[in-house]
Amino acid sequence: MEKLKMHTPDMTQDNIARIRDLFPSCVMETKDAQGNIKLAVDFDQLRQELSNQIIDGPQERYHLNWPGKREALLTANAPIAKTLRPARDESVDFDTTKNLFIEGDNLEALKLLQETYLGKIKMIYIDPPYNTGNDFIYEDDFAEDTTEFLRRSNQKDEAGNRLITNTDANGRFHSDWLSMFYTRVKLARSFLKDDGFLFVSVDDVEVANARKVCDEIFGEGNFLECLIWKKKYGGGAKTKYYVGLHEYILCYCKEKSCIENIEIPYGEENRKYYKYTDEKVNVRGPYRLQPLNTNSNDLRENLIFAIEIDGEEIWPESQWQWSRERVKKALDDKEIVVSATNEKKSVNFKQYLRDEDGEERKAKPFSIIEDIYTQHGTKEIKDLFGNGKTFSFPKPSSLLLEIQKIFVENDYIVMDFFAGSSSTADAVMQLNAKDAGNRKFIMVQIPEACDQKSEAYKTGFKNISDLSKERIRRAGKKILEGVCHEGWSKDIGFRVLKIDTSNMADIYYVPDAVKQSDLLKSVENIKQGRNDPEDLLFQVLLDWGVDLALPIRKEKIQGKNVFFVDENALVACFDTGVNEDLVKELAGRKPLRVVFRDNGFESDAVKINVDQIFKQLSPGTEVKSI
């Protein structure tokens, strides 16, 4: 029995709990004077979180460390002055689709998207590049020069002579991979809803490190499972030791207290065990027999009693699963079955496929995923492109379908910022077509150049992101050709947005750096060549944190081009020569937000009056300019 505290609350521990909510990696385990484990703040780590430069932290503690970790943290927190530029010609149903494809480095993408999608993503699945002991495409600012690393880590002497010959397994490659992985997962956590999930595909080279990184970022308590995916049929591999047949999928949740019991619908593999029928078949369907006896170490007296059947008392081997009252009801309902084997009687109960309300039973998902193989992913690519070698090692969309079985709802956002062949997007569209769901996807893929010797390059794809987009286009058409739920919106589109430098000139960010002699050149704060109004619109959407997948409509009002995002969520006019009549008409539509070009008004008087006009006609509107 718990005792009353009999003292005022421990405000220190409460404050530590608040810090843990904001910065999970800054709270560690430590011992008090009595040797009891308690939580404490890692002030070195907290200082780094709140600093824009690298700080020293010599304190030893239990955590994963590697060369470049502090630089990785600094990089994760550092701001960038970039934007997303729309590419209508590469998109499908640009104006109406709810899906996004972001082309560019995923670290930059996560930084650009974090304000807009903070706490809004239900599921993040990533399949980061596996560590093969070679350099990989994600070269962040903190990645250090190979020669410098080898010298500093005593693998080369000052003259450049290598001291260690095993280059495939040296620490630099682990350090680079960990820094790449750490920054992106750290940012990814903030995107998840409180009941959101992160799934990470990883092989045995980095699975231990990946789990430690996720433990640090999410907290060990939010680890759910290390799924094992049996990806190969087996046999045939030339290996000196074991035949590797599996990979891992780490599963974490944002906050375990917000997660309900995970159950999935019964598949055909489970239904086959329900082979008996009785008079309740029309209501509860077939049943299977389950032992009423349970072998538990936690013996309870109220579960140990005799059951009288046909005048004979039967005692449990250990104890029954049910109480006397529940057993009596089952006997009255003829749900108890006694069978004899070798003069030993066993008591079973009927477990029906459906409950009393007719709803089908559910089951716990297994930690091992079988009957889905890499060959299925290759076949999908072959069916879509005519050649299974167009993309190397694509994840089967069925693997992503299997993962999403745990979600009861069908209206959520899925993000994959290592999109690859966009198997995730394919799976989302398939699920929606099946149950008329409203799932949306956000794919992010860097335009990594295809090897000129590869089938993808020979087919005409110069980079991976182009191949990824084409896979979504073809998969969407194929899905529409099949059987689709009549209530589905048939959204197989995606809005392509490409990461680029900011649309704003340097003067916009550092006005104090302008010399008096340069003032005439600095009247325009928009970068030369960036006058496309849609470019400006999407930078405004990012800055304001407005959903980038909202429908966009353009209308000509009083000779000016005006954008309406989700009708009145945001109204934007970037034309010049805006007068009071146009301002009043826009204010009359009472938008939530409105934005103009700073030098877009026909006179200073109009610019000064804009705020007053909106205060009179639409006081709830936020008014801004660029």
Q: How far is CA 508 from the centre of its chain?
A: 33
Q: How far is CA 539 from the centre of its chain?
A: 23
Radius of gyration, alpha carbons of the chain: 30
Number of domains in the chain: 4
Give dist(CA 112, CA 626) in Å, integer: 18
Q: Could you tell me if 246 and 350 lie in one domain? A: no
**Looking at the chain, how many residues does it have?**
626
Q: Could you tell me if 350 and 379 lie in one domain? A: no
Percentage of the chain modeled with pLDDT above 70: 86
Give dist(CA 442, CA 450) in Å, integer: 22
pLDDT digits (tens, 9 = 90+) for 239-294: 778 888 999 999 999 999 999 889 888 777 677 788 888 876 667 888 999 999 98
pLDDT at 142 over 50: no
The CATH number for 134's domain is 3.40.50.150
Average pLDDT of the segment spanning 504-527: 59
Q: Could you tell me if 55 and 106 lie in one domain? A: no
- pLDDT given for residue 171 in this prediction: 52
| Average pLDDT taken over every residue of the chain | 86
pLDDT digits (tens, 9 = 90+) for 193-209: 999 999 999 999 899 99
Give dist(CA 380, CA 391) in Å, integer: 10
CA dist list (Å): 123 to 24, 80, 127, 145? 20, 25, 13, 35
Average pLDDT of the segment spanning 346-364: 86
- pLDDT given for residue 342 in this prediction: 66
pLDDT at 168 over 80: no
- pLDDT given for residue 76 in this prediction: 87
- In sequence order, what DSSP letters do the residues of 227-269 get, joined into one string? EEEE-S-------SS----EEEEEEEES-GGGPPPP-EE--HH
pLDDT digits (tens, 9 = 90+) for 440-457: 999 999 998 888 888 888
Average pLDDT of the segment spanning 383-396: 88
Last residue of some domain: 502, 529, 549?
A: 502
- In sequence order, what DSSP letters do the residues of 80-140 get, joined into one string? --EEEEE-GGG-BSTTT---EEEES-HHHHHHHHTTTTTT-EEEEEE-PPP--SS--S---
For residue 595, being part of any structural domain is answered with: yes
For residue 507, being part of any structural domain is answered with: no
**Bigger pLDDT: 603 vs 238:** 603
Amino acid at 24: P
CA dist list (Å): 187 to 76, 128, 191, 223, 483? 7, 15, 7, 17, 38
Average pLDDT of the segment spanning 164-174: 51
pLDDT at 144 over 50: no
| CA atoms lying within 13 Å on the CB side of residue 591 | 23
Last residue of some domain: 327, 358, 389?
A: 358
Mean pLDDT is highest, among 44-48, 317-321, 473-477, 522-526, for 473-477
For residue 15, being part of any structural domain is answered with: yes
Give dist(CA 264, CA 369) in Å, integer: 14
Question: Tokens 């998109």 — which residue?
Answer: 91
Q: Give the confidence band of 612 by pLDDT, cuts at 50, 70, 90.
A: very high
Give dist(CA 42, CA 19) in Å, integer: 10
Q: Is 439 helix (H, G, I), strand (E, B) or coil?
A: coil
Helices 69-77 and 171-191 sit at what angle, rounded to 10 degrees?
A: 30
- pLDDT given for residue 388 in this prediction: 79
Give dist(CA 271, CA 262) in Å, integer: 19
Q: Give the confidence band of 155 by pLDDT, cuts at 50, 70, 90.
A: very low
For residue 512, being part of any structural domain is answered with: no
Q: Could you tell me if 213 and 286 lie in one domain? A: no
Q: Give the confidence band of 62 by pLDDT, cuts at 50, 70, 90.
A: confident
Q: Could you tell me if 407 and 522 lie in one domain? A: no
Q: Could you tell me if 418 and 550 lie in one domain? A: no
Average pLDDT of the segment spanning 570-586: 95
Average pLDDT of the segment spanning 21-38: 79
Last residue of some domain: 478, 502, 526?
A: 502
Q: Could you tell me if 253 and 192 lie in one domain? A: yes
Structure tokens at 586: 């826009």
Do the strands 121-126 and 560-565 form a parallel or antiparallel pair, or are they unpaired? unpaired
Average pLDDT of the segment spanning 101-118: 94
Q: Could you tell me if 400 and 255 lie in one domain? A: yes
Its domain, for residue 126, covers 73-261+364-502
Q: Could you tell me if 128 and 240 lie in one domain? A: yes
Amino acid at 533: P
Which residues, in sequence order, are bridge partners of residue 103?
445, 498
- What is the rounded end-to-end Cα distance, in angstroms, of the chain? 63
pLDDT digits (tens, 9 = 90+) for 121-133: 999 999 998 877 6
CA dist list (Å): 529 to 329, 399, 504? 79, 44, 11
**Bigger pLDDT: 173 vs 212:** 212
Average pLDDT of the segment spanning 578-605: 94
Q: Are 252 and 222 in contact (CB under 8 A)?
A: yes
Q: Could you tell me if 86 and 159 lie in one domain? A: yes
For residue 511, being part of any structural domain is answered with: no
Strand order in the sheet with 560-565: 552-557, 560-565, 570-573, 593-596, 622-625
**Bigger pLDDT: 30 vs 464:** 464
Average pLDDT of the segment spanning 539-557: 94
Q: Could you tell me if 59 and 81 lie in one domain? A: no
**Bigger pLDDT: 370 vs 149:** 370
For residue 173, being part of any structural domain is answered with: yes
504 burial class (0-12, 13-18, 19+ CB within 10 angstroms)?
A: middle
Q: Could you tell me if 536 and 460 lie in one domain? A: no
- pLDDT given for residue 143 in this prediction: 42
- pLDDT given for residue 574 in this prediction: 93
For residue 479, being part of any structural domain is answered with: yes
Q: Give the confidence band of 530 by pLDDT, cuts at 50, 70, 90.
A: confident
Percentage of the chain modeled with pLDDT above 90: 56
What does the CA dihedral 18, 21, 22, 23 come to, rounded to 10 degrees?
110
